[in-house]
A and B are shown apart, each in its own frame.
Chain A
Amino acid sequence: AAGVIQSPRHLIKEKRETATLKCYPIPRHDTVYWYQQGPGQDPQFLISFYEKMQSDKGSIPDRFSAQQFSDYHSELNMSSLELGDSALYFCASSSAGAASGGYEQYFGPGTRLTVT
Chain B
Amino acid sequence: GDSVTQMEGPVTLSEEAFLTINCTYTATGYPSLFWYVQYPGEGLQLLLKATKADDKGSNKGFEATYRKETTSFHLEKGSVQVSDSAVYFCALSGTNTGNQFYFGTGTSLTVIP
Contacts and interface: CB of A to CB of B under 8 A. Distances in A.
A84 interface: no
Interface in A76-116: 90, 92, 94, 96, 98, 100-110
Contacts of A110: 43
B62 interface: no
A41 B105 contact: yes
Q: Find the residue from A35, A41, A96, A107 having the highest chain B CB count within 10 A.
A: A107
Q: Which range contains the number of A residues in contact with the other chain? A: 20 to 34
B93 A42 contact: no
Contacts of A100: 94, 99
A48 B99 contact: yes
Nearest to B92: A102
B26 interface: no
Contact of A31 (B30, B32, B99, B104): B99
B81 interface: no
B79 interface: no
Nearest to A96: B99
A15 B34 CA distance: 36
B58 interface: no
A102 B43 contact: no
A64 B69 CA distance: 40
Contact of B43 (A42, A56, A108): A108
Contact of A101 (B34, B89, B95, B103): B95
B44 A90 contact: yes
A71 to B, nearest CB: 21
A55 to B, nearest CB: 7
Enumerate the 9 nearest inter-chain pairs by beta-carbon distance, A residue then B residue, closest first.
Answer: A101-B94, A102-B94, A102-B32, A56-B98, A42-B103, A45-B100, A107-B44, A109-B43, A107-B43
Interface of A: 31, 33, 35, 41-45, 48, 55-56, 58, 90, 92, 94, 96, 98, 100-110
7 contacts: A33-B100, A45-B102, A56-B97, A101-B99, A102-B30, A104-B34, A107-B43
